[in-house]
Amino acid sequence: MTSWLLLGATEGGLFDLDATLPLMAVQVVLLTFILNALFFRPVGRVVEEREGYITTSRAEAKQKLAQVERLEADLREQLKEARKATQQLIQEAEQDSDKLYREALATATAEANASREQARREIDAQRESALGQLKGDADKLGALIVDRLLAAQ
């Protein structure tokens, strides 16, 4: 234990450099190549393939999302137009029915007025003829009374 720090003066010691060094270096270089073949390259390939897959999938998803958004906007536009068209149709129909109603009402009112006028005129005519007849009858009756009275005397 006394010579354990001697720098390679005798055999042994902490700093005993010998052929272990180059052999270890060769061993590590070999290990590098073996690990490269067994570990770094295959695992790297798998990881990078996955990264590529994820990137392309993301890009695809993004593209699809954009497409969906475009379609949605398109459909929304169509829906809006359809709503507008419906509104217009309803309005037109309402206007039509209103017009029809007014027309029907107008004709009905006109007809009613006309028939009332006619009835009034007929009533007037009948009343006049009845009055004329009544007057003639009264005259005749008067003349008859006068004749009878005069004849009795």
Partner 1 sequence: MGFLPLALPLAELEVGQHLYWQLGNLKIHGQVFISSWVVIGALLAFVLVGSRKMERDPRGMQNLLEFLWDYIRDLAREQIGEKAYRDWLPFIGTLFLFIFVCNWGGALVPWKLIHLPSGELGAPTADINTTVALALLVSLAYFYAGLSRKGFRYFEYYVEPTPIMLPFKIIEDFTKPLSLSFRLFGNILADELVVAVLAFLVPLLVPLPAMVLGLFTSAIQALIFATLAGNYIGEAVHEEHH
Which ranges constitute the DSSP H helices of 2-40? 20-35
Among 19, 149, 150, 152, binds partner 1 (CB under 8 A): 19
C-alpha span between 77 and 74 (Å, rounded): 5
C-alpha span between 147 and 140 (Å, rounded): 10
Number of residues counted as binding partner 1 (CB under 8 A): 40
Among 12, 132, 136, 142, binds partner 1 (CB under 8 A): 12
Minimum distance from residue 63 beta carbon to partner 1 (Å): 22
Determine the interface stretch with partner 1 among 32-40, 56-64, 77-85, 140-148 (rule: CB under 8 A).
32-40
Q: Which residue has tokens 């009835």?
A: 119
- Check residue 16 and report its DSSP letter: -
C-alpha span between 45 and 38 (Å, rounded): 11
Judged by the rule CB under 8 A, the positions of this chain that interact with partner 1 are 1, 3-5, 11-25, 27-29, 31-36, 38-44, 46-47, 49-50, 53
